[in-house]
Amino acid sequence: MANTPHGGVLKDLYLRDADKQSILAKEAETLPSVVLTDRQLCDLELILNGGFSPLEGFLNQKDYDGVVENMRLANGLLWTIPITLDVSKEQIEESKIAPSKRIALLDPRDYTALAILTVEDVYKPNKAKEAEKVYGANDLAHPAVNYLHNIAKEFNIGGSLEAIQSPSHYDYVANRYTPTELRAHFKKLQWTRVVAFQTRNPMHRAHRELTVRAARQRKAHLLIHPVVGLTKPGDIDHYTRVRVYKALMPKYPNGMAELSLLPLAMRMGGPREAVWHALIRKNHGVTHFIVGRDHAGPGKNSQGVDFYGPYDAQTLTEQYKSEIGIEIVPFQMVTYSPDTDEYIPADEVPEGVKTLNISGTELRRRLKTGLPIPEWFSYPEVVQVLRQSHPPRNQQGFTVFFTGLHASGKNAIARALQVSLNQESTRSVSLLASENSRAELSSELGFSKRDRDINIARQAFVAGELTRAGAAAIVAPIAPYNDARNAARKTIEQYGGFYLIHIATPLEECIKRDRDGIYERAKRGEIKEFTGLDAPYEVPNNADLTIDITKQSVSQAVHEIILLLEKDGYIGSA
């Protein structure tokens, strides 16, 4: 029999409101609306489908204060993470949001009305207190604290929800079970004892061993229940991860394990989040929940120290296990013993026995460089999926971003580099020449700092998309401001390589080389805010290469750039 939901009743608002959904949909067309953020969308889905039972809406101030202060709702039930609907002062004024007002909540992807919120109160949260109490420190190095201060808006709306429809999903639909559906699935399979495994990372042999051990020890079946909502910034995308999980599932004994995807927006809240995760799994009908080392940990704080201890999450879940109502399965790390060809819990390794492990950093290095990944660490089918999504450097895209004054020689070097890379013929090469980019992307913009920054952002977006597709992008704007260049780097390097090349040709030489007379026109006042004359050029302090065309030929400059790319493995031998 499936576990009893938290609070005794599964709050599946889709079932509760099924007979009035068409009426609610028509009403929503007449109401003021709030377009949800990605995190709010994840939270809404789990409120509406019962994953967040006993919640039936976003927290009002009384519930919010109780959760922040002592991990309890106003009715006394255990709840550890604030589930809030944050809005701005402008939204409140525009929609006249006030108690008793009804608000339609819209999907940000297509503006479909998903639910109606009846407002109970509007309140301003104490964000510093929330950071300290919920996440352990008011430190912006924590992703949830950073979200709280820099992304979340200043007010919260509390109130109850009525369900119109669920958010549409177009990926892995067969593996997306609501709590009601998963409970029915367990009943069909006649599963009465179920161990759930939470993950936001790819799974390898060690994870398979860990989960099988948990199921065997508890005489239970296994639910692989990964998060596919929002996870830690920098995590591997959920498409890749789900392909990994699907490749791994046949490695379990037949009938032992099932895969279900959880649309949760993680907060990386460590101990409190572990309790929250356990309550969510209880609502899905699970009887046991694995809490591992540093569960939902965000890493290091601004002082370089881990936010939470490695077993803090296990300690807190154990402390509240009777209220959670689910058996907590604590597991430490397992490590591989080559002598016996098996995985052993790290705390059970006999003294003097050799063990092997590959860290996440080392795995990423092997993927980037194309080095082999041993079968004792991961299955070939899993490695194949990871290599498809994370090809070695010589198959990844990159951007070479030139910056320098007008007529500094950057366009000549950029064109010569394009020819040289085309000679390699290993990837498509696109040159975003400054004059063409201006005309095609930013023809309406002038030369104020704001307009220049917008122009660079647009070129960075295009270069980022080319880089993501595995191409080589060459960008050659003036790009006079550090902030815009750094933003371009951030946009592009999440997809591949980024090289900032400063063409440091002196202004006097640039004026001599200016065959179009642009500098002379600027001196006469015909062109305003001209970089190098009456507008500043901020010399880069983080250029990967600096070139002065008065001291280096175009050929030499291109050769030095090629050497940079070869050193990092983007071109040359695999």
Q: Which residues are catalytic?
A: 199-201
Instruction: Look at residues 147, 235, 141, 164 and name the one whose alpha carbon lies nearest to residue 18.
Output: 164
Residue matched to tokens 């559906």: 181
The DSSP result for 193-217, as a single string, is SEEEE--SS---HHHHHHHHHHHHH
147-179 burial, b for 16+ CB within 10 Å, e for fewer? bbeeebeebbbbbbbbbbebbeeeebeebbbbb
| All residues at 6 or more sequence positions from 315 whose CB lies less than 8 Å from its CB, including other chains | 271
- Whether the CB-CB separation of 59 and 156 falls below 8 Å is answered with yes
- Kindly tell me the sign of the dihedral angle through the C-alpha atoms of 381, 382, 383, 387: positive
CA atoms within 13 A on the CB side of 486: 8
- What's the chain's length in residues? 574
The DSSP result for 342-390, as a single string, is EEEEGGGPPTT---B---HHHHHHHHHHT----TTTS-HHHHHHHHHHS
Q: What is the CA radius of gyration of the chain?
A: 28
Sheet architecture: strand order including 327-330:
257-259, 221-224, 194-197, 288-291, 327-330
Amino acid found at 229: G
Which residues lie across from 162 on neighbouring strands? Answer: 116
CA atoms within 13 A on the CB side of 320: 23
